[in-house]
Amino acid sequence: MAQMYFYYSAMNAGKSTTLLQSSFNYQERGMTPVIFTAALDDRFGVGKVSSRIGLQSDAHLFRQDTNLYQEIAALNEVEKRHCILVDECQFLSKEQVYQLTEVVDKLHIPVLCYGLRTDFLGELFEGSKYLLSWADKLVELKTICHCGRKANMVIRTDEHGVAITLSAELAGRTPKEHVDHFHRIIKDFFEELEFSFDHYSRTTWPGHVPVTQEFFET
């Protein structure tokens, strides 16, 4: 029986990575999933779902006026769709969440939604509010706060990285010294495990995305 799932978390918990892995799992079994993402999220290009580890896939866009039930029903008429995957689902409206429940109940297609639960003020997004109410299954994807504990909130930062500044201040370091400190710790840890590497860098290195994409595609 088809169900609707809501995978929620704070930032940087790997929501998009998990979505893309689910999509791959369906395709590997000869099935056809459909990915949707919010039109207003164009950080990695319009109509793209991208993860921080370099994975990427094309996606259909939803806007505030998109009727998701009608769109999915039309796609399903052309070719049988086995799963609907929705990224940035916190931006769904109440009506769109209801439309997705109709996809589950009338079209019998499972719907997997991935997104934030709350904003930086701790307030529920509209889409998340109704997904928490109507989804059949709720799954929390966990990640770590910059303080070292489990992350429960989304923090708002400026281009200078305020969160990094705060944790650096507590440690008595500048932000750059703070980042360098943990960079060295991780590098030393790998060396203690006798890992060898030709190039050790950070995700901010310009070559990170293409190298990671090539690795996972091959």
Q: Are 141 and 6 in contact (CB under 8 A)?
A: no
Q: Taking the CB of residue 31, how many other CB atoms lie within 10 A of it?
A: 13
Strand residue runs (E) in the chain = 4-9, 33-38, 48-50, 56-58, 60-62, 83-86, 111-116, 137-140
From residue 34, alpha-carbon distances to 1, 37, 80, 136, 149 in Å are 18, 10, 10, 20, 35
User: 2: part of which helix (H) or strand (E)?
Assistant: none
Q: Which residue has the tokens 């008595």?
A: 172
Give the DSSP letter of residue 86.
Answer: E
Candidates 88, 102, 123, 126; catalytic one? 88
Alpha carbons 90 and 104: distance in angstroms, whole number: 19
| Tokens coding 214 | 């090539």
| Tokens coding 23 | 């999509």
Is 88 considered catalytic here?
yes
| Residues identified as active-site | 88
